[in-house]
Structure 1
Amino acid sequence: MSEIDKKEDLEGFVSQLHTPEESQSVVFDHAVEQLVPTELSLLLESLPIEARCARWLQVPDELKTSVLLGMRYQARDSIFLAMDESTLDLILRSLDAECLIELADNLTEEQIEKAFSYLDSKQQNWYQGAAEFDEKHIGRYADHKLVTIPPNAKARDALRALKRGTIDLCDQVFVVDKQGLFLGVIPVSMLLKEKDPMRMVRGMIETVPITVLGTDPLITATETLEHSGGYSLPIVDNDGRLVGRITQATALWIMKEHFESQLMAKVGLTESADLFVPVFKGARQRAVWLGLNLLTAFLASWTIGLFENVLSQVVALAVLMPVVASMGGIAGSQTLTLIIRGLATKQVTFRNSWALSKQELGIALFNGVGWAAVIGVVTWYWFESGVIGLVIGIAVMANILVAALSGVYIPLILDKCKFDPALSGAVVLTTVTDVVGFVTFLGLGTLLIL
């Protein structure tokens, strides 16, 4: 049996496509048979742009739209730029309102108008409604695959509507009036248990249904759904009209995008970054972040320069400086990560920050004293100087304590100022712990050694 005849996972196909002696065309054809569209999307993203565009031509027409939707923005853009007119028209004809919203950033105004013209009137209304919301609002990504009934319908009418629907999973039907105003929901389980088929659905509506506003941020809407314990929730506009619903599938996609964006933001990138972005474009995207880090590095270097005299006379201090900085940096990062998570889950505010500070200071004091003693003793034996051991021990303990406080308040202050703590918190924290650590260490060295 040949290598490509075996059942392979995504990683296996990535390896085979990057092996020169293998025929990429044959391997990719086999991947199309074995992988689902989202996996094919990732497989294409793993290839350099030229190879990616060549393999795209092998994607069956019926899978092209699904594969495109599974790709990140930048990688998807490389496909669109190389796409011929006939394939592009095929894609535009296959889009529904939700898919058009997802791909809109990759399309020109002319292409969006063309795709819009292919939609039926209901899909056009859905697209226009979604386009009114910002990309950070849940209303833009509302799921329209739901069952609606009027308030004067009977239980049997609701059951018939369910049977006529083409929804894969439906946990409730939505009751709306002629103007589209949302009146409430009826759980499917209640309809199935109802013994009187002639009962009016008006009397079966849940008294206080949980709703999500179309202008709610994506994460807020996801958390509301999570806390509700249901599969879906209705999304309404400011006038109370039903926009659509948020489902667990949508929530999972939002959370995946959110955590990926947080991970990438820590190094100044976006979740849409392409592995094989053109060199100049990639360099330009990363230049700003490198410049910001350069400024903080110069600040730390300037701090060290203030103690040039003691460093020139006591070389041991220069050798030990990284220990002070790294201990403070790691301790602060642990606290920072905890607080950022707390901010994301709405568990941390300025009101409970002092209680958190006392908790983190207690942990920092315990670890600070213990590790300061270890580092002090090691330094004493290494450089045969009790004074240097004392200096670094005090500096490490002080830096860990400052790092704990900084880890609590830096993300809180950044969040209050409308900056993303996940994006800039680590840079600010590292600067604080470096400067405080160096000033404490070298300042004590100047006082006690010289």
Structure 2
Amino acid sequence: MPEERTHLIDHFSQSDAADQEVLIGQRLVQKDFESVALLLESLPLDLRLSTWQQIAPEKRLAVLIEMRSDPREHLFDDMSLAELDALFEGIEPSELVELSESLPERIIDRALNAMDLEQRKFFQVAQQYSDQQAGHWINQDFLVLPQNAKVRDALRLLRRNLESYTDSVFLVDRLGHFIAAVKISAAIGAPDHTPLSDINEDSFTTLAATDNIVDAAIKVQNSQFASLPVVDDRNILIGRIDIGSACDIVNNNYERQIMASAGMDEDEDLFAPALVSAKKRALWLGINLLTAFAASWFIGLFEATLQQVVVLAVLMPIVASMGGIAGSQTLTLIIRGIALDQVSRANQKALFKKEIRVGSINGIAWSIIIGVVVSFWFHSPMIGLVICLAILVNILASAAAGVIIPIVLNKIKFDPALSGSVILTTVTDIIGFVTFLGLGSIILT
């Protein structure tokens, strides 16, 4: 699929306007809205806007839903009020929730005016929750019956309507409180007069509207059901999270962590104006500069040693590099464990011990290898001994930091994917340089 999309972008860029329109049309006929969205995001702004005009008005909403917020903002900015009104005709509340982060309030109001009272109510319910909570992303299309309904009622409902990713009917009381869920497969095989409450799923769980959305999505993935109901603080059923949405949420969270590790936003437009992109990236460049100054200050403490033993300056990058990669491996493993809820108080000590053992094995093996190589390279066993000990200490320290840093950041409610690598690099550089140059000043001078 990635190769096909790359080919599509290349083919599109090399085609004339008529062929481009045909390519877009073919994708839209196949309802491959994701590929069209990715294509638009991959085009420079001028070409993106002209290509957008080739998309039929009735297909635009589906394409916008698949786009990231930053790229689609440029399209919204270029649309007239008439085009926006046409776009919002027939829009569903969940679709407006998806687009709302890219729209100013006045435009959202225009979209709400195109909805009926019930739809506006659904949208307002979702907007009561932040975009980090499950209640914000609910799917409000689900099968629901009163708690005293029978199998024949469920079968009648199924004949009228069956939404995507639906394998259960939800039962509620007269006030809308969630009571139970019944698998469709169980209802189909039961006598018509059987009360649905007699064949409900004992293992069925609910999601709280205030649950973290990523945690909720992982629960859906692990539930073995196509969707799970979402209830508010009064146990009133307000919607569901289905397995399709759950997979998108988890994948987007993984992408966000990758981008955040470089201090970037996963929604950033590939062809955003240079000044806008520069502003977004400047903060982390500044933070990195401060950490670099800190490492340089520690190196400056050993200026006299470096002047006497210049060879240490040649070898310093090796020490920093070995510590950095060892720490990054541990950091990545722990961040993934935290994201999957695999790291807890109960296993933190065991994780720490395990990573120290891994660091010891690799540290001893590689420090000896590098020590021997450096001894022959510079014809000095003592220099080999210095770098050998420094690398061993730095790898052990990196392993420890790779476990401790993300756990501490997560405990103080700070995303370890966002700043963990910056802090780790600073720690490993400082420990590596201080150990290496400190041992050098003791042993070689």
**1:57 pairs with 44, 53, 62, which one?**
53
What do the CA deviations read for 1:18-60 (whole angstroms, capped 9, x no partner)?
34xx314522432331361111000000011111011000011
1:18 to 3, 13, 17: 13
Residue 418 of structure 1, aligned match among 413, 424, 432: 413
Matching residue of 1:43: 39
Corresponding residue for 2:240?
245
Secondary structure of 1:94's aligned partner: coil
Deviations 1:180-228 (A, max 9, x none): 111111110111100x212222333334531011110011111221232
Q: Which residues of 2 match residues 376-395 of structure 1 at below 5 A?
A: 376-395=371-390
- Kindly report which structure 2 residues correspond to 1:48-87, keeping only aligned pairs within 5 A, or say none: 48-87=44-83
The equivalent residue for 2:211 is: 216
Aligned to 1:148: 144
1:114 matched to 2:110? The reply is yes
Counterpart of 1:245 in 2: which secondary structure?
strand
Counterpart of 1:179, as a letter, is: L
Do residues 307 (structure 1) and 302 (structure 2) align?
yes
Matches within 5 A, 1:162-201: 162-194=158-190, 196-201=191-196
> Do residues 359 (structure 1) and 363 (structure 2) align?
no
1:328 aligns with 2:323: yes
1:4 alignment counterpart: none
Seen in structure 2, the aligned counterparts of structure 1 residues 353 and 371 have a Cα distance that, compared at 3 Å, is same
Q: Equivalents in 2 of 1:178, 1:110: separation in Å?
A: 37
2:436 aligns to what? 441
Per-residue Cα deviation, 1:117-162 (whole angstroms, up to 9, x for no partner)? 2112221221111111111011111111211111222211111011
User: Superposition RMSD on alpha carbons, in Å?
Assistant: 1.4
Return the alpha-carbon distance in structure 2 between the equivalents of residues 228 and 170 of structure 1.
Answer: 14
Distance in 2 of aligned mates of 1:202 and 1:447: 78
Judged with a 3 Å threshold, the aligned counterparts in structure 2 of structure 1 residues 250 and 407 are, in CA distance, closer, same or farther, namely same
1:34 paired with 2:27, answer yes
Cα 1:207/1:283, change in 2 over 3 Å: same
| Aligned equivalent of 1:429 | 424
Evaluate the alpha carbon distance shift between residue 168 and residue 407 of structure 1 in structure 2; reply closer, same or farther with a 3 A threshold. Answer: closer
Q: Distance in 2 between matches of 1:294 and 1:113?
A: 44
TM-score, normalization: structure 1? Answer: 0.95
Q: Distance in 2 between matches of 1:362 and 1:203?
A: 54
Note the C-alpha offset of 1:17: 3.2
Cα distance in 1, alignment partners of residues 422 and 21 from structure 2: 42
Q: Residues 53-111 of structure 1, C-alpha deviation per residue, up to 9 Å, x if partnerless? A: 11000011221001111110000000001112222111111311000111112222222
1:134 to 130, 137, 146: 130
Q: Could you list the runs of 5+ residues in structure 1 that have no partner in the other structure?
A: 1-7
Is the CA contact (8 Å cut-off) linking 1:17 and 1:28 kept in structure 2?
no
Shift of 1:349: 2.5
Aligned residues: 440
The answer to whether the 8 Å contact 2:221/2:247 transfers is no
CA contact (8 A) 1:222 1:251 kept: yes
Are the counterparts in 2 of residues 176 and 182 from structure 1 also a CA contact under 8 Å?
Answer: yes
Q: 1:402 is aligned with what amino acid?
A: A
CA contact (8 A) 2:208 2:231 kept: yes
Letter in 1 for 2:194: R
Per-residue displacement from partner, 1:346-391 (whole Å, max 9, x unpaired)?
Answer: 2213442222121111111111111111111111111111111110
1 CA distance for matches of 2:193 and 2:357?
66
- Asked whether the equivalents of residues 165 and 227 of structure 2 are also in contact (C-alpha less than 8 Å), the reply is no
- Tell me, what secondary structure is at the counterpart of 1:9? helix
Contact 1:32 1:40 in 2 (8 A): no
Which residue type is aligned with residue 266 of structure 2?
E
Structure 2: segments with no counterpart, 5+ residues: none
